[in-house]
Amino acid sequence: MTTSLEILSPGLISTLQDKGRFGMASSGVPRAGAVDPVSLQIGNALVGNDAYTAAIEFRFMGPKIKAHGGPIRLGLAAETTAILTRADADEDDVEITPWRSFLMHEGDTLAIKPLKGSATGYLTIGGGADVAPVLGSISTYARAGLGGLDGAPLKEGDHIPTHAARATEIDRVVTKPCPLEATPIRVIAGPQDDYFSTDTLTRFTAQPFTVSKDVDRMGIRLEGDEINALPEKGHDLISDGSVPGAIQVPGSGQPIILFTDCQTVGGYPKIGGVIAADMHRLGQLLPGAEIQFEFVDLKTAQAILKQQQEQIEKSIASIAEYVEVGVINQNALYTQNLIDGIVDADRPDHFAGQLEA
């Protein structure tokens, strides 16, 4: 049976994203991919997919969709709720809570509410989207028209073909999602940290920066006290390679964090680069948020990345059957030991396990 998801409303910015295109920067092809790969991995685990299977990534406000040819199993990996409206008018609407999976049947619609205190969420699709990869990835890179559906963000009327879901699979929920850390964002200095004085490097980590309104998949502009390069060095250099997470400092002295859709070369000095384990935190930054940086070395960055992977594994291991509040969990009744003890009617004063005199 052919199954698909129709986009009734795309929300603010919704795209298909997977891990992205790696190893192509030398040809001028940006990475693209999920801005929060941690949430993507956990969301895919909810529906039984491989970690980086392409999903609908939505920013700030989610889409409204309709199922065709169901059933289609979906997972809501986001700090928000959604309303599932059944095609059968006799059935009540269902509130889909964060970090859980559910089934959509033919004609059902789902409306995702705006995100709460975060910027990015994912709607994972059991079996994945049946979309051909471009240069090894389904990820949408709109500036070059690569990937996704016709290389563009999702729009009203789009149909995402999907692989058939396992209709018998139970609804599941992540009981322990990965928390977003409130610590400074960790950075490895360079490659042009020598363009800045020791005092300037200290001020870079000592002061908070505010995320400006100019934040998207290409970059995150910050506002704070100016970070100026040494006069003899200046803020211009011969363009060299750029990667997501690199922190450029232009002549304005206001840093710019390059992000997943960033250009592959740049001509501003880079004071540092955000470590891999903290990249997902950038994907959740809202305009007006305050952040601070901390320099770490490579060995520390590797240790933090290992700890993050362990946390992801713990979150995935916490996935359990979802049971609505007020509904009897029959599976628990059938599989758990509900007998705490027994009493012998012929010996009312004796309890099982009691030591004999």
3-state DSSP call for residue 182?
A: coil
Kind of pairing between the strands at 185-189 and 270-274: antiparallel
Q: Which residues contact 121 (CB under 8 A, 6 or more apart)?
A: 39, 57, 58, 62, 76, 77, 78, 79, 80, 112, 115
Is pLDDT at 332 greater than 60 in this prediction?
no
pLDDT band (50, 70, 90) for residue 2? confident
Q: How confident is the model at residue 180, as a pLDDT?
A: 86
Buried b (16+ CB within 10 A) or exposed e, 225-249: eebbbeeeeebeeeeeebebbbbbb
Of residues 133 and 352, the one with the higher pLDDT is: 133
Reported as a pLDDT band with limits 50, 70 and 90, residue 181 is: confident
pLDDT band with cut points at 50, 70 and 90 for residue 209: very high
Q: How many CB atoms lie within 10 A of CB 6?
A: 15
Mean model confidence pLDDT for the chain: 91
Using the predicted structure, report yes or no on whether residue 112 has a pLDDT greater than 80: yes
Work out the angle at residue 31's Cα, subtended by the Cα atoms of residues 27 and 37, and round it to the nearest 5 degrees. 160
Q: Three-state SS across 96-109?
A: ECCCEEEEECCCCE
DSSP string, 216-238: SSSEEEEESS--PPPTTT-S---
β pairing state of 185-189 and 293-295: parallel
Residue 156 clears pLDDT 80, i.e. is over it: yes
Mean pLDDT of 192-201: 96
Q: Give which of 272, 312, 99, 306 is closest to 184, Cα–Cα.
A: 272
Neighbouring C-beta atoms of residue 12, cutoff 10 Å: 13
For residues 105-134, give the mean pLDDT: 96
Q: What is the pLDDT of residue 350?
A: 61
Eight-class DSSP state of 223: E
Rounded mean pLDDT, 246-256? 96
Catalogue all structural domains in the chain, each as residue range(s) with its CATH number. Answer: 3-174 (no CATH), 185-310 (2.40.100.10)
d(CA 217, CA 141): 10
Q: Which segment of 74-88, 152-166, 210-224 scores lowest on mean pLDDT?
A: 152-166
pLDDT in tens, 21-50: 999 998 999 999 999 999 999 999 999 999
Q: What is the DSSP letter of 90?
A: T
Average pLDDT (265-274) is 95
Looking at the predicted structure, is the pLDDT value of residue 353 above 60?
no
CA atoms within 13 A on the CB side of 304: 19
Specify the pLDDT at position 161. Answer: 96
Residue where the block lists tokens 């009897």: 328
Q: In sequence order, which residues have a C-beta less than 8 Å from that of residue 249 and are 6 or more positions away?
A: 195, 196, 227, 229, 235, 255, 256, 268, 269, 270, 271
Q: Is the pLDDT score of 328 beyond 50?
A: no
pLDDT bracket for residue 239 (50, 70, 90): confident
Q: Report cis status (omega within 30 of 0) of the bond before 133.
A: no
Q: What is d(CA 7, CA 29) in angstroms, rounded to the nearest whole number?
A: 28
Q: What are phi and psi of 166, to 5 degrees?
A: -85, 100
**pLDDT over threshold 90, residue 262:** yes
Residues in the chain: 357
pLDDT band per the 50, 70, 90 thresholds, residue 167: low
pLDDT tens, position by position, 313-325: 999 999 999 987 6
